[in-house]
Amino acid sequence: MATIPHTSLAPDRSLVDLDGARVRRWSNMANGDVGEPIILTRFNDRTVQVGGTFGVGGSVTFTGSNDGVQWDTIRDVFNVAISATTNKLITLTEVPVYIRPEVTGDGTTSITCTVAAVGRG
């Protein structure tokens, strides 16, 4: 299991990246990897995009924490876990202090997760 660092999609790595949005990406995540946590609490809207090779049993679950120690699955407004087993976009409605993806799969799993956050509270 590795902790995958996030990268900015803006060339200057500024706080506000693309047209007022903060955009972060975790690339080439494999089975057992977790993403380096990010903080997006001051942004009203957060959408994640998941894509890549899922392999056998591959999935991404988004987890959150308010203390950076205990990690719990982020859920949507219908209390359904935020996870993906195929390429998709997902809106995050819960707002924990820290957000990160966690990946499961097989030896062929290679998933990229990108978060865009916009709006100010």
**Domain span at residue 85?**
3-120
pLDDT tens track for 5-45:
999 876 555 545 567 788 899 999 999 999 999 998 888 89
Structural domain count of the chain: 1
pTM, entire model: 0.89
CA 79, 82, 88, 90: dihedral to nearest 10 degrees? 70
SS3 113: strand
Tokens standing for residue 81 = 């876990």
Any idea what the CATH number is for the domain that residue 35 is in?
Answer: 2.60.120.10
pLDDT tens track for 44-91:
899 999 999 999 999 999 999 999 999 999 998 889 999 999 999 999
